Structure 1
Amino acid sequence: MTRRAVITGIGAVAPGGVGRDRMWDLLTAGRTATRTISLFDASGFRSRIAAECDFDPAAAGLSPQEIRRMDRAAQFAVVSAREAIADSGIDAAGYDPARITVSVGSAVGCTMGLEQEYAVLSDGGRKWLVDHRYGVPHLYGYMVPSTLAVEVAWQIGAEGPVALISTGCTSGLDAVGHAVQLIEEGGADLAVAGATDAPLSPITSACFDAIRATSPHNDDPEHASRPFDGRRNGFVLGEGSAIMVIEEAEAARARGARIYAEVSGFASRSNAYHMTGLKPDGREMAEAIRVALDRARLDPAAVGYVNAHGSGTKQNDRHETAAFKRTLGAHAYRVPVSSIKSMIGHSLGAIGSLEVAASALALHHQVVPPTANLTVADPECDLDYVPGDAREHRMDVVLSVGSGFGGFQSAMVLSRC
């Protein structure tokens, strides 16, 4: 019997609101959560805007010890995992702990904790030789990204495979894909999977400023993220987390679980070409899409909605538009395509999991979230990008794609159950 993997619980910490329902309300309302950076003084940077999470760890249920121990990215992941587990109605005590797996993605790990601690240890960067005595007791945990996955594993008592997936901006998609493969091959019966990133710090802003990848549209943050728009001039940094509970389909049905979607196909490819550059023909992303659809045993015409990477950079939007045309053919002009980065920014490794969560919710509610700030047509981006307003739309299959630094290209197919 072929084992199938389904999503039965979703938790999220996202710009604009903590929790799955608040995120979905923001997306379907077409509201943007981008604003001037408040987490640090960004006045000296080229891009001074971001999509920040209004997150109070104590209000979100974390204890003083957890708050002291965890970096902000870990806090996001744990809060999201708790919501996902509660949403699924799962009783982990009924599972063999060795059959529970955790897969968490992150592009930049505990960036905020590391930068804050370096500033203290080096006396604001004035000392080349840092004084370790000023470090917090859990500094080692900040330096080892796998602690993010460990914190989530502790929440559910997982003693099976526990992994941290770091593949740049496809980390969230790839972490979910890894968990799904373990369910399908019989290596696990229950998975808690997704991604987290809290990259909003001076070092991150400096890095993206240096390559001019982020938008300098500082005087109007709300409209700075413009995927597929002819005026787009870079992405807007974000932060957040989405964690999902993934189960074997028959077991989920047997316990009467609500199923958001089946993960019916996944594939990842690398372009072996350039760290940040993308070829305009979209060949590498198209190959990931083709293989994901093949694994799902679906014809391209079955795709009812495409949740795009849609970063708002000129080359990425052009690249994936070409990829959709290569794989979907004439159907590419009929299927709605949208980018939620227009509303919640680009949270690096976390965004792929937020997009998978949004895709599953789109299937569940039969609503396509819009692409905000799309008002000026770009002749090279000529598909139906659902500008402005959410759209009720009958769909049985959603394609979600991601593109990451290093040449990573990933595609995931979700099917209605």
Structure 2
Amino acid sequence: MERVVITGMGVVSPIGNNIQTFWNNLINGKSGISTIDTFDVSNHKAKIAGIVQDFDAVEILETKEVRRLDRFSQFALAAAEQAWTDSKLDLDSIDAEKLGVYVGSGIGGIETLIENIDLLRQKGPRRVSPTLVPTMISNAAAAQISIKWNAMGPSMSPVSACAIGNTAIGEAFRLIRSGEADVMFAGGTEAAITDLSIASFGNATALSIRNDEPTKASRPFDENRDGFVMSEGAGILILESLSHALHRDAKIYAEVIGYGASSDAHHMVATHPEGKGAYLAMKSALKSANISPEEIDVISAHATSTKVGDISETMAIKQLFGKRAYQIPVTANKSMIGHMLGAAGGVEAIALAMSLNEDVIPPTINLENPDPLCDLDYVPFVARKMKIRNGLSNSFGFGGHNSAIVLKKY
């Protein structure tokens, strides 16, 4: 079987729209959460989100093209462009049939859908865009990347809710390992901070309403957390077979060595209270990586800042790692970037790859009063310098979808 490595990365996020800015802000504990200013939130329960700042799609796309793309596709193309440039791959020297795209989105082009529903109701059916469907469907981002880079290999837009990023990376990893692809774009993208989305999640009491302190609202594992903070962006990685990467003397960030997936088979929105699905996904990922629990040096937790989710993930970690669970640093990127939904796994995989590269673990901020049931080492407040060989990253989603990947220092 082929070994699989990461040779390029690109990010669009509330704390930076390139890898270095994103990483510097992450390890310095900077929050990207702010008051929503893109629409009127005066009647909403939750008035805060992780909004991407200073993003101009025209910098990478033609103006006419931008008009035909929903924001989630714009984010994906921007992150993919960064990752491609970073990888230094050359299209002329690649077999197009073995270049693939696995990039997903949990909600897709909801902004475009809402705009056209408004047009339909206000001005009638003739004003609805003929490009509505290809613009809003969840596979649009993957398709646009495939078209731009002439990627004629396997292309898929996995939909596993907030587990998407890891699902995409893991399934792309399997394709390369089996020899079906040489190079894959993999990750997730999301742009769902809309009037409708905030209203729905807010009415479900899922969102934090710490509106007067946005930067302190996302607080995984903290006793005083009151829900997650919705966010947006994209995280795209270039996965490549090791032989392909070595042949061109590529820079390698990390090696992907394991992937596991499972289902809670429990509830549409609530995680399994004992973390059974999370445990099974992590266990499967370690088995796939052919390593023991003793060999994991850091865990990037899903950790959305919800009571049931944080506790169940902590329970799952304890079940898998036993007493050693207390010795493994567990970090929560969402404390700074919020919950990027379908983009979360891709962005957090990038953070883990950077950790392996630089031997630094980002902190979990806002952990002022730890929940007694969340008693592991969550790297509070300050980044930690330490040697890291293997890292595990978790992503879980509505419907009970769970996915975990294992990255190794190369």
- The question of a shared fold, defined as TM-score above 0.5 by the shorter chain, is answered with yes
Question: Residue in 1 aligned with 2:326?
Answer: 333
Displacement after TM superposition at 1:210 (Å)? 2.1
Question: Residue in 1 aligned with 2:80?
Answer: 81
The share of aligned pairs that are identical, in percent, is 39
Render the CA deviation track for 1:195-232: whole Å, top value 9, x for unaligned. 10001001111211121111011111110000001111
Displacement after TM superposition at 1:61 (Å)? 2.2
Question: Residue in 2 aligned with 1:272?
Answer: 265
Q: 2:237 aligns with which of 225, 232, 244?
A: 244
Displacement after TM superposition at 1:117 (Å)? 2.1
**Contact 1:35 / 1:52 at 8 angstroms: preserved in 2?**
yes
Q: 2:367 aligns with which of 374, 377, 387?
A: 374
CA distance in structure 2 between the aligned counterparts of 1:31 and 1:147, rounded to whole angstroms: 32
Displacement after TM superposition at 1:409 (Å)? 1.2
SS at match of 2:403: strand
**Contact 2:219 / 2:305 at 8 angstroms: preserved in 1?**
yes
Task: Give yes or no for the alignment of 1:153 onto 2:146.
Answer: yes
**Contact 1:57 / 1:67 at 8 angstroms: preserved in 2?**
no
CA distance in structure 1 between the aligned counterparts of 2:160 and 2:204, rounded to whole angstroms: 19
Q: Superposition pairs for residues 301-380 of structure 1, below 5 Å?
A: 301-380=294-373
Aligned amino acid, residue 122 of structure 1: R
Question: Residue in 1 aligned with 2:390?
Answer: 397
Question: Residue in 1 aligned with 2:29?
Answer: 30
CA distance in structure 1 between the aligned counterparts of 2:324 and 2:59, rounded to whole angstroms: 43
5+ long unaligned stretches in structure 1 = 124-129
CA distance in structure 2 between the aligned counterparts of 1:58 and 1:336, rounded to whole angstroms: 37
Between the two proteins, the alignment pairs up a number of residues equal to 410
Displacement after TM superposition at 1:142 (Å)? 2.6
Q: Superposition pairs for residues 121-270 of structure 1, below 5 Å?
A: 121-123=120-122, 131-270=124-263
CA distance in structure 2 between the aligned counterparts of 1:86 and 1:277, rounded to whole angstroms: 40
Question: Residue in 2 aligned with 1:126?
Answer: none
Render the CA deviation track for 1:277-333: whole Å, top value 9, x for unaligned. 223321211111111101101110111110000100000000000011111111110
Question: Residue in 1 aligned with 2:287?
Answer: 294
5+ long unaligned stretches in structure 2 = none
CA distance in structure 2 between the aligned counterparts of 1:274 and 1:13, rounded to whole angstroms: 31
SS at match of 1:170: helix
SS at match of 1:321: helix
SS at match of 2:157: strand
Question: Residue in 2 aligned with 1:57?
Answer: 56
Aligned amino acid, residue 291 of structure 1: S
SS at match of 2:261: strand
The CA RMSD measured in Å over matched residues stands at: 1.2
Aligned amino acid, residue 400 of structure 2: G
CA distance in structure 1 between the aligned counterparts of 2:263 and 2:274, rounded to whole angstroms: 15
Displacement after TM superposition at 1:346 (Å)? 0.4
**Contact 2:106 / 2:138 at 8 angstroms: preserved in 1?**
no
Please identify runs of 4+ aligned residues in structure 1 that moved more than 3 A.
none
CA distance in structure 2 between the aligned counterparts of 1:120 and 1:56, rounded to whole angstroms: 26
**Contact 1:289 / 1:411 at 8 angstroms: preserved in 2?**
yes
CA distance in structure 2 between the aligned counterparts of 1:63 and 1:331, rounded to whole angstroms: 52
Displacement after TM superposition at 1:59 (Å)? 5.5
Aligned amino acid, residue 250 of structure 1: S
Task: Give yes or no for the alignment of 1:407 onto 2:400.
Answer: yes
Question: Residue in 2 aligned with 1:127?
Answer: none
Structure 1 range deviating more: 56-65 or 97-106: 56-65
CA distance in structure 2 between the aligned counterparts of 1:6 and 1:328, rounded to whole angstroms: 26
**Contact 1:82 / 1:155 at 8 angstroms: preserved in 2?**
no
Aligned amino acid, residue 287 of structure 2: D
Displacement after TM superposition at 1:381 (Å)? 0.3
Displacement after TM superposition at 1:58 (Å)? 4.2
Structure 1 range deviating more: 137-146 or 292-301: 137-146
Displacement after TM superposition at 1:335 (Å)? 0.9
Displacement after TM superposition at 1:137 (Å)? 4.2
Displacement after TM superposition at 1:60 (Å)? 3.5
Render the CA deviation track for 1:28-78: whole Å, top value 9, x for unaligned. 110001011112111111111000001432463221012111100000000
Task: Give yes or no for the alignment of 1:11 onto 2:4.
Answer: no
CA distance in structure 2 between the aligned counterparts of 1:263 and 1:65, rounded to whole angstroms: 38
CA distance in structure 2 between the aligned counterparts of 1:389 and 1:131, rounded to whole angstroms: 55
